Structure 1
Amino acid sequence: MMIQFPDDANGDMLQALTEAGLDLSQTMTLDFYLIFKRQEKAERAEQALISKYPKESVSLYCNPANQWEIKITIDMIPSYEAINLLEKELDEFARKFAGHNDGWGVMEPEPVD
């Protein structure tokens, strides 16, 4: 039986992962992205994120669009509700530093030979 997800960006992404054969009941490593126009705001946000999520990987870089981007990597079970809640929390956090949430993604697992 195929799980039906809401018709939005998160639902579409989860649907694609399911169709690719990934088991969404298992913990996965997800990358969440926050975008900032100003480097100093991004650097302050990065330090605050490291304090808020000390066990997670947080990295800051300048993306090809010349915006400052923070990637926070979180291991979690990718439920629709949990992702929406975390994205809302990250967006509210980023807005304190004049930034915004810019979605999430998952690295495809390496094929096993």
Structure 2
Amino acid sequence: MKFPDDADGDVLKRLDESGFDFSKPTTIDFNVDFDSWPPHPDAIAKLREFAGSIQIYEPDGEYNGYILFNIHQVLSYELVKETQEKFTTLMADYGGVCESWGVLH
């Protein structure tokens, strides 16, 4: 498979090289990071509205806090980019950005 030459494409390439099955739906975790913690309550409410179930991870010493949500679909570059753009736009007024994701493999 060929993937775009960027960070998301690199992750997909590594998954492909390790034998990941791109034909089956999988659970994809997305993180939303914020400029400041804690996030505004309206940001949390919006994430719940658009993502459903969310998990809030409080800052832990060396790590900043973030909010995690997941979707269960067939993994593709387009899905990753569209989801990141959608949630970054949704969280822009609250200093939030969705740039990281992953799958358990």
TM-score by length of 1: 0.81
Highest CA radius of gyration, 1 or 2?
1
Contact 2:39 2:94 in 1 (8 A): no
Shift of 1:79: 0.9
Shift of 1:66: 5.2
Structure 1: distance between partners of 2:92 and 2:50: 15
Q: 1:38 matched to which residue of 2?
A: 37
Q: 2:64 matched to which residue of 1?
A: 67
Q: How many percent identity over aligned positions? A: 29
Shift of 1:46: 1.9
Amino acid at match of 1:39: P
Root mean square deviation, CA, Å: 1.6
Contact 1:58 1:71 in 2 (8 A): yes
- Give the length in aligned residue pairs: 103
Contact 1:34 1:100 in 2 (8 A): yes
Shift of 1:102: 3.1
Residues 1:80 and 2:77 are matched in the alignment = yes
Secondary structure of residue in 2 paired with 1:39: coil
Structure 1: distance between partners of 2:84 and 2:39: 22
For structure 2, the 5+ residue unaligned runs are none
Which 4+ residue blocks in structure 1 deviate beyond 6 angstroms? none
Structure 2: distance between partners of 1:14 and 1:25: 13
Structure 1: distance between partners of 2:63 and 2:80: 27
For structure 1, the 5+ residue unaligned runs are 109-113
TM-score by length of 2: 0.87
Q: 2:94 matched to which residue of 1?
A: 97
Secondary structure of residue in 2 paired with 1:105: strand
Q: 1:6 matched to which residue of 2?
A: 4
Residues 1:51 and 2:43 are matched in the alignment = no
